[in-house]
Structure 1
Amino acid sequence: MDYATLKSLRISDFENAADGYRKASSMASQAKDDLYNQVIPGMQKSLRGEALNAAVAQLRELSKNFQYTQVECGLISAALNAFALELRLAKVKLDVAVGDATDARLRVREDGSVSYGAWSGAGNEKIPGGTVSGGAALVQGPGINPNHNAAQTYANRIADAIKEATEVDAKWSAKLKNLEADDDLTVSSRDWINTRHDVRGTLKGAEDYLNLILEPPKNGTPEENAAWWGGLTEEQRSDYASLNIATVGTLDGLPSEIRDEGNRYSLRAASARWEMERERLILMRDLLTQDGRYVNRSIENRVKDIDKKLAGLNQVQKHLDSTGGKGIPELYLLGIDTEKNGHAIVSVGNPDEADNVMTYVPGMNTKLETVGGDIERAESLYSQAVALGDPEKKYASLMWLGYDAPQNPVAVAKEGLANDGAPALNDFLDGLQASHQGEPANDTLLGHSYGSLVSGKMLSGDETPPVDAAIFVGSPGVGVDHAADLNLPPENVWAGKSRNDVVASLPTRSIYNPWSWGERPFGVDPTDPRFGGQQFGVQDGSKWPPFAAHSLYWDENSESLKNMALIVNGEYPMSGAEPQ
C-alpha cells in the first residue's frame, strides 16, 4: 500500500462487494430452502421409484453445497465489512493529516512526502525550505527551519496511516485467502470442519468491526435477546450471524428462522466433527491391533459413544430432510448439541407464525440417540391438529429435549433433573412468545412421563407461565397436588392416562415401581379428581409388554391423539371429560 493508492481508494467498493456476498449467501439459503420445501416435496408427490430416490439423494447433496455456500459467503461478507472498516479508519487518518498539512500551508507531494518553504529569520537570515518523508525524528538546534518540524510531523502522520493500511491489507488478504473453498463439488466432513476454523479465524481479526455491533446482553432474558436483535440493521444481523453462526442458534427470543440456520450449521459441523474423530480412532485402533488379536477397549468404547451421537444427529437430519412427506411442513431446528446424552429441539412448522403452538416435553430414557421417535410424535400431533382444526389457521408442534432426561430408575425417582430442566424450558417458551409475530398464539405445553414433572415444575415456578394450557399424559406426578398450583386456570389443565400404563398408575405394588410403596413422590395423580384439573379419554392399550401402554398416546387415529389435538386447538376433547 502506498500514498497514491490509499489516497484514491474507494472504501465503498469493498462495502459493495460485501453486500454482493451477503446477497449471494441469502440466495444460497433460499435455494437450499426451495429444494427442501418445494422441489423435493413436489417430486415426491408426483413421482415414484428408484429414479426418484436417486434424484432426491442428489438434490439433498446439492442442498449441502448451498448451505456451505451460504456459510462461506456470509463469512466473506462479514470479513469484507471488517476490512472496509479498518481500511476506512486508516484512510480517515490519512485524509485528516493531509488536510491539516494543507491548512498549515505545506504541500503534500504525490509520494506522501511534505514540502515546506524557506524561513526568514532575524537580520534577514534565510533558511531554505525542503521536503521530508515520514518515519524520521524531529530535529532541534540552531539554524533549523521551524517549518521543517511541522512538515515532519505531518509526514509522519501520513506514513503511519499508510503503514496501518498496509497492515490491514496484509491481514485481511490472508484471511480472505483462507476462505477459498476446495475446487470440487463435494462438501466433505473436512470442509465442514474447516468452516469452524474459518469462523474462528475471521472472528479473531474482526474485533474492531464487531465492537460497532452491539453484543447480545450477557445472560440476557429472551425478551432482552429479542430487543437486541430487533435493534440491529439487516447488515449487522447478517454479519453477526455469519461470525457467530452457532451462537445465534442458542439464543432464546431470536426468530425461529435465524435459530434454524444456526443450528442446521451446528448439526452439519457436529456430524463432521464426530465422523472425523471416529475415523481417527479407527485408524489408531487398527495401528495398535494390526493382527486382530487384541482389542483396545478404551478406543472401542469411545467409538461406540460416537456411534450413538452420530445416530442421533443422523435421525435429526433425516427428519429435516423429510419435509413435504405425509403432509409434514418445513421443520425448524431450534436446538442441537451432543453434550452428555445430547439435546435437540425441533419444530414442525414455524412457531413464530402459528396460531396454535404445542410444545412436547419427553420423559425417561429420551436422548439424542433415539430422538427420532419423539420427533415423530410431534409430527403425529401436528397432523392430527391440522386434520381436526381450522384450515385457515397455522400450526406448530415442537419436541423439546432441552434438558437431561433420566436414563435409569434411580434418576427417575428424583426431582433433581426436573428442577434443572424447568428454567431452561421456561426460557425457551418465553423466547417463543418474544419471537412470535402478529396476534399471540394459543400455546399448549404437553408433558409425558418424567417430562410432565419438568413441565409441572416450570408452571408452578412461574406466576405468569408462557402457555395457555397444559396436557399431562402417562404422568407419575407434576410436582404439586392441585391444578391451581400450576398458575393456570384449572379448566385449562388436562390429564389422561391409559388404564394399563404402569408408570402413570404408580405406586402400585409392582416390580416396575422405583419408588417406595404406597406414596406418589411427585404429588397427586393429575387424572385424580382431587387434583382439580380436567381429564380426557385414552384407550386402554395392552398390558404386555409392561410398558407398551406408556407410549400409546400418539398412536395413529387413537382416542388420545385426537383428544390432545382438540385441546391444542383450543377445543373440548371428544371423550373422557366432564360435560360442559
Structure 2
Amino acid sequence: MTGLGVAALRAARPELLSAAARGIEEHRRTVTGGIETVLRGRSTALSDAGGSLSRWSGPASTAAAGRFSALAAELTHVGRDLAVCSQALSHAGLRLRSALGLLTRAEARAQERGARVTQAGVLVVPARVPRGDPVLDAHEVREDALMREEVTAYLRQAGRVATETDADLARHLVEAAGGCLAPGERGVLTSLPPPPVSGPGHPSADVFANAAWWRSLTSEERRQLVQERPESVGPRDGLPGADRDQANRILLDRVERAARGRLAVLEAGGEPLPEEVGAGGSAVLALGLSERAGALELVRGRLDALRAVRAVLGRQDGARRRLLLLDVAGRHPKAAVAIGEVDTAPHVATFVGGFTTTVGGDLDRYDRELARLRSSSSGMAHGDVAVVTWLGYAAPQADEVLTPSRTVMSSGVAARGGEELAAFVTGLDASREVPADQSVLAHSYGSVVLSFALRRPTGIDRAALFGSPGTGGAVRSVVDTGLKPGAFNVLGSIDDPVVAGGRVVLGPSAASVVGARTLSTYAPGAEGSPGARRTSRGHSDYLKAGSDSAFNLAAVVAGRGDATVAESAAERARKAWR
C-alpha cells in the first residue's frame, strides 16, 4: 500500500467523521435560523410601529437595511461553508467505511488460505507442505496465486481510497475555513476513477482491481456510473452481473441507434467511416468489392448481432436474462447472456462456442439449448443454477482460414480468447460475496480457448471439453490446469471428424490429457432404439435432448461427478480407429 498504510487504516474511526458531520449540520441549522431572524428583524425595522403600509425612509433607514443585508449575507456564507464541511465529512465517513471494508475483505481472504496481512500491509503466505499428489499441489499453487492477486488488489484500493479521501477532505475543510470555496461548491468528494487496464497477461489482477474499485464506491456513485457512464461499467469484468446488465442494456440502445443510422447513410451512398474501411472480411476483398460494400457488410452484421441479443433478452420462458457483455466494435461482435442470477446462484456454468460461431447466427440456438441444460442440471444440483452463453472472443470464421492471425488451424485466436475467458469467469467470483461453483463447457475450437484459460489462475472448478480438436498444446496434464482431480472432463462422439482429425494441428487431443475423465456420448442400439436416441453423432449433437452427453454436461454443471456416465469399453472400442 502507498499513502495511508494498513496500520493507520486499522486505527481509523469513520463513525467519528459521521458524528462530526451531524454536529456541524446542527450548527448549520442554527445559522439558518439566525438568517431567518435577521431577515424578520430587517422587515420589522423597516415598518412603522403601527404596522401601516408607510415605511421608514431616509439615510438611517438605508443604513439599517444595509447592515441587516450584510449580516444576512455573512450568515449565508457561513451556512454554506458549514454545509460543505458537513457533507464532506459525511462523504468521507462513507468512503472510509468502504476502505475498511476492503481491508476486512483482504484480511478474510488471506485467512481463508492460512495467510495474514501485517501492519505494514505485507501479505505473508505460509510455506505449503507437498501433498504427494502433483495435481493437488498444482491446485494449491493456483489457489494461492488467486488469493495473492485478490488480496493485493483490495489492499491497494483500500490505501488509495483512504489516501485520496484524506487529501480531498482536507482540501474542502481548509477552503471552507479560509472562505475560499468556489461559488456553487459542494462537499461531495472527487469521484474515484476506475483502475487502468494493466495490459495483456494480467487478466486476474485487472478483474480484482475492478471489483475492489466498485466496492469502494457508494451506492449513489454506482447508480450514477451505470446511468451516465455505462461504457465504464458494462464491459468491465469483476462487477456484479445486475449492474453490468443495466449498463449494457443502455449501451444496446445506443449502439443499435448508431448502427441503424450508419446503415441508412451507407445505403444512401454515403462514405464509410475509417473504422468501417477494410472490415468487410476476406470475402469482400476477394470479390474486389468496394469499401462501401465492405462497410455495408460490417454494419448489417452488427445489426444482426444486436437483433439476436435483443431477441434473447426478450425471451418469455420464465427465466431472467442478464446481458453481461456487449461489444460490437470491428468485424466480430461479442456478447454474453446469462440465464439466472450469476450474482447469487451457487452453481454457474459458462458455455464457449467454437469455429464459425457468431452472435447473430448462434446466440439464439445456444440460449435455447442452455436453458434446457440448466433445467436438467437444476434437478441434480444443490441450489440454483445459472448458465452463460459466452460469445466473448472473436471466433475464427470460415473465410479466415487462410489468414495467419485468424485461422482456425492455429491456436493464436485461442490464446487471446483464453485470456478474455479467464478474466470473465474470474470476474464472476470476484464480484460476489461467496464464490460460485463454476463450470466451463467448451465446444469445438472453444475447447482450445478454454485450455489456454486454464493455464491461468481462474475461478474455474470444473471443465468439460466436447467435440474438441485438441488443447492447442496448452494442456498436456491436469497439473497444467490447477484443477482438482476429476475436474477435467472430455466428451467426443464416435464419429466426430473434428475430434478425429483436429489433433493433427491442434493437439494433443483432449482425451489424451493426463488425468482427464472421458464421459459417455454413446449407447448401443439399432436405429430408433433408446440407445440410439441417447447417442450423440457427428460434431454438433452433444446438447441433444435425452442424450448421454447432455446428461453428463448437466451433471458436470451440478457438481455431480458421481452421477456422470463414464465412457464404456464398447464406446472406447468404437473409437479405437482414432
TM-score (norm 2): 0.57
Aligned mates of 1:423, 1:236 — CA distance in 2? 30
Which one-letter code corresponds to 1:532 in the other structure? G
Aligned mates of 1:396, 1:249 — CA distance in 2? 19
Q: Does structure 2 retain, via aligned residues, the 8 Å contact 1:477–1:526? A: yes
Q: Does 1:309 align with 2:302?
A: yes
Q: CA deviation at 1:427?
A: 1.3
CA shift digits 1:320-366 (9 cap, x unpaired): 111x41x4x21111111112311111111111101111111111111
Q: Does structure 1 retain, via aligned residues, the 8 Å contact 2:225–2:232? A: no
- The alignment partner of 1:334 has SS state of strand
Q: Which residue of 1 aligns with 2:557?
A: 568
Aligned mates of 2:73, 2:311 — CA distance in 1? 53
Q: Which residue of 1 aligns with 2:94?
A: none
CA shift digits 1:90-116 (9 cap, x unpaired): 99979955xxxxxxxxxxxxxxxxxxx
Which one-letter code corresponds to 2:545 in the other structure? E
Q: Does structure 2 retain, via aligned residues, the 8 Å contact 1:483–1:490? A: yes
Q: Does structure 1 retain, via aligned residues, the 8 Å contact 2:349–2:388? A: yes
TM alignment of 1:334-413, pairs within 5 A: 334-340=324-330, 341-370=332-361, 371-390=363-382, 393-408=383-398, 409-410=401-402, 411-413=407-409
Q: Does 1:333 align with 2:333?
A: no
Which of 440, 444, 447 does residue 449 from structure 1 map onto?
Answer: 444
Q: Does 1:426 align with 2:422?
A: yes
Q: Does structure 2 retain, via aligned residues, the 8 Å contact 1:537–1:575? A: yes
Q: CA deviation at 1:490?
A: 3.8
C-alpha change, 1:578 and 1:231, in structure 2 (3 Å) is farther
TM alignment of 1:549-564, pairs within 5 A: 549-564=538-553
- The alignment partner of 1:336 has SS state of strand
C-alpha change, 1:301 and 1:225, in structure 2 (3 Å) is closer
Q: Which residue of 2 aligns with 1:248?
A: 233
Q: CA deviation at 1:425?
A: 1.2
- The alignment partner of 1:412 has SS state of coil
Q: Which residue of 2 aligns with 1:146?
A: none
C-alpha change, 1:321 and 1:561, in structure 2 (3 Å) is same
CA shift digits 1:61-100 (9 cap, x unpaired): xxxxxxxxxxxxxxxxxxxxxxxxxxxx999979955xxx
TM alignment of 1:85-164, pairs within 5 A: 97=179
Aligned mates of 1:226, 1:366 — CA distance in 2? 30
Aligned mates of 2:176, 2:437 — CA distance in 1? 59
Q: Does structure 1 retain, via aligned residues, the 8 Å contact 2:489–2:516? A: yes
Q: CA deviation at 1:8?
A: 4.5
RMSD of equivalent CA atoms:
3.7
CA shift digits 1:411-450 (9 cap, x unpaired): 1110111111111111111111111233x32111111111
- The alignment partner of 1:403 has SS state of coil
CA shift digits 1:197-245 (9 cap, x unpaired): xxxxxxxxxxx99971211221262222212211212222222333321
C-alpha change, 1:233 and 1:285, in structure 2 (3 Å) is closer
Q: Does structure 2 retain, via aligned residues, the 8 Å contact 1:348–1:397? A: yes
Which one-letter code corresponds to 2:439 in the other structure? T
Gaps of 5+ in 2: 1-68, 88-170, 198-204, 272-288, 570-578
C-alpha change, 1:316 and 1:297, in structure 2 (3 Å) is same
Q: Does structure 1 retain, via aligned residues, the 8 Å contact 2:381–2:559? A: no
Aligned mates of 1:566, 1:233 — CA distance in 2? 40
Aligned mates of 2:211, 2:478 — CA distance in 1? 32
TM-score (norm 1): 0.57
Which of 208, 216, 223 does residue 208 from structure 2 map onto?
Answer: 223
Aligned mates of 2:537, 2:259 — CA distance in 1? 34
Q: Which residue of 1 aligns with 2:519?
A: 536
Q: CA deviation at 1:574?
A: 4.2
Q: CA deviation at 1:311?
A: 0.9
Q: Which residue of 2 aligns with 1:186?
A: none
Q: Does structure 2 retain, via aligned residues, the 8 Å contact 1:443–1:468? A: yes
Which one-letter code corresponds to 1:224 in the other structure? A
Q: Does 1:213 align with 2:168?
A: no
Q: CA deviation at 1:7?
A: 7.1
Q: Does structure 1 retain, via aligned residues, the 8 Å contact 2:355–2:395? A: yes
Q: CA deviation at 1:575?
A: 2.4
Alignment identity in percent?
27
The number of aligned residues is: 371
Aligned mates of 1:251, 1:561 — CA distance in 2? 32
Q: Does structure 2 retain, via aligned residues, the 8 Å contact 1:482–1:524? A: no
C-alpha change, 1:377 and 1:211, in structure 2 (3 Å) is farther
Aligned mates of 1:355, 1:265 — CA distance in 2? 28
Aligned mates of 2:291, 2:546 — CA distance in 1? 47
Aligned mates of 2:172, 2:381 — CA distance in 1? 61
Q: Does structure 1 retain, via aligned residues, the 8 Å contact 2:226–2:246? A: no
Aligned mates of 1:278, 1:422 — CA distance in 2? 33
Which one-letter code corresponds to 1:334 in the other structure? L
C-alpha change, 1:378 and 1:284, in structure 2 (3 Å) is same
Aligned mates of 1:473, 1:558 — CA distance in 2? 13
Q: CA deviation at 1:303?
A: 2.4
